[in-house]
Amino acid sequence: MKSLDAIGFVRNQLRQHGNVQRACEALAQAALDRRSQDNISIVIADLGRTDWKSVPAQKQNFGWEVSQAFATIVVVSVGIWVSSFLSL
């Protein structure tokens, strides 16, 4: 599953029920159903400021979605980097 597909999938899940845990589980199951041959790891950062059920469906904005995916990767990478220093 491509990153943009995963983002769209999670957004749709959150619009349906607003539950981040269920969205993670549904995405993992979707990856397993597609017979993913790679490790499956999912991190969703919910800052608690969005009422997902009231968010209208959006038209795909490739530039915005790529920037969001990049920002997420940066945040996760910094977290991993910091935790590696803390474990020394």
Residue ranges of domains in the chain? 1-57, 59-87
69 in Cβ contact with 7 (< 8 Å): yes
**Does 88 score more than 70 pLDDT?**
no
Smallest CA-to-CA distance from 69 within 1, 16, 7 is with 7
- The span from the CA of 65 to the CA of 3, in Å, is 9
Give the pLDDT score at 26.
94
Smallest CA-to-CA distance from 36 within 77, 70, 2, 73 is with 2
58 in Cβ contact with 31 (< 8 Å): no
- The span from the CA of 6 to the CA of 66, in Å, is 12
Give the pLDDT score at 81.
86
Give the pLDDT score at 59.
64
Give the pLDDT score at 29.
92
Q: What is the pLDDT of residues 14-72, one digit of tens each?
A: 888 888 899 999 999 998 898 887 888 888 877 777 676 666 665 667 787 788 888 88
27 burial class (0-12, 13-18, 19+ CB within 10 angstroms)? buried
